[in-house]
């Protein structure tokens, strides 16, 4: 694994931690649908990012890239959703599962150069989710 892979994984881990902290801080100010939307967004974004990264790394081996990206998306979506309630937990779980599957398929179809562009775009989307907390509240 290259330095870029470690950078992306560390960034996603940091984003997940910040999202969990912000979820705990804004928990009482969020309505149910807002919490469901936020957990679905973060689960799907992280599942997509991990899926594209692993799909382009394990080119031609779709089973392992799909499996690992689904696990990553489900873990993040569930962890961030459990703070907000049971419905956001289920929404984060299913969003992470869906994002992991789609990201692995997309990453398998892209070349290395194209996958770097898509990963950087998805990282930007994932970081912008953190700015939704004060806006929604």
pLDDT in tens, 22-49: 888 888 888 878 888 888 999 999 999 9
Q: What is the pLDDT of residue 61?
A: 87
* Tokens of residue 8, six digits: 């992306």
DSSP states of 74-96? HHHHHHHHHTT-HHHHHHHHHHH
Domain limits of the chain?
36-120
Q: How high is the pLDDT of residue 26?
A: 86
Query: For the chain, what is the largest distance between any 2 Cα atoms, rounded to a whole number of angstroms?
Result: 46
Q: Report the predicted TM-score, pTM, of the whole model to 2 decimal places.
A: 0.90
List helix spans (H) across 1-137: 3-25, 32-57, 62-82, 86-109, 112-128, 132-136
Tokens at 41, concatenated: 């967004």
Rounded alpha-carbon distances, angstroms, from residue 54 to 25, 89, 112: 32, 25, 11
């Amino acid at each position: 694994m290259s330095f870029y892979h470690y950078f992306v994984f560390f960034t996603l881990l940091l984003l997940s931690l910040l999202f969990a902290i912000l979820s705990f801080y804004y928990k009482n100010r969020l309505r149910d649908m807002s919490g469901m939307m936020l957990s679905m967004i973060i689960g799907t974004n992280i599942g997509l990012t991990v899926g594209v990264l692993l799909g382009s790394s394990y080119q031609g081996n779709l089973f392992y890239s799909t499996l690992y990206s689904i696990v990553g998306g489900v873990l993040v979506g569930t962890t961030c959703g459990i703070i907000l309630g049971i419905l956001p937990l289920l929404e984060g779980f299913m969003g992470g599962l869906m994002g992991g599957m789609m990201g692995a398929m997309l990453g398998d179809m892209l070349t290395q150069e194209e996958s770097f562009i898509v990963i950087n775009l998805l990282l930007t989307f994932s970081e912008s989710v953190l700015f939704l907390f004060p806006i929604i509240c």
